[in-house]
Amino acid sequence: MALREVYPELRSTQERAVELARCGAEDGSVVVARQQSHGRGRGDRRWESPPGGLYLSVVLRPALGSAVLPLAIGAEVADGLALEYGVRLRLKWPNDLLAVDAAGRSRKLAGVLVDGVRAVDGAEAAVAGIGVNVRRLEPDLPAELLAGSVALEELTGTPVDLERLEAVVTQAAVRARKALAEERGSRSVVPRVRGLLYGVGEEVTADGVPVGTLLDVREDGALEVGGPGGIRAIFAGDVRVGFPR
- Contact set with ligand BT5 (CB under 6 A): 12-14, 36, 39-42, 45-48, 55-57, 95-96, 108, 111-113, 129-131, 133, 137, 145, 149
The whole-angstrom separation of Cα 111 and Cα 114 is: 10
d(CA 48, CA 67): 25
| Smallest distance from ligand BT5 to CB 229, Å | 27
- Taking the complex as a whole, the smallest distance from the CB of residue 105 to ligand BT5 amounts, in Å, to 14
207: number of Cβ within 10 Å: 11
CB of 47 to ligand BT5, least distance (A): 4
- CA 238 vs CA 1, 21, 28: distances in Å: 37, 28, 29
We find the least distance from the C-beta atom of residue 57 to ligand BT5, in angstroms, to be: 5
Q: Which residue number, 131 or 199, has a Cβ lying nearer to ligand BT5?
A: 131
Choose between 171 and 226: whose C-beta lies nearer to ligand BT5.
171
Task: Decide if 90 contacts 200 (C-beta within 8 A).
Answer: no
CB of 56 to ligand BT5, least distance (A): 6
C-beta closer to ligand BT5: residue 83 or 145 = 145
CB of 38 within 8 A of CB of 12?
yes
Residue closer to ligand BT5, measured from CB, 113 or 222: 113
Give the Cβ contact number of residue 105 at 10 Å: 12
What are the φ/ψ torsions at residue 122 (nearest 5 degrees)? 90, -10
Q: At 142, give phi and psi (nearest 5°).
A: -55, 140
* Of 111 and 212, CB closest to ligand BT5: 111
Query: Which residue lies nearest ligand BT5, judged by its C-beta?
Result: 111
Q: Cα separation of 186 and 27, whole Å? A: 20
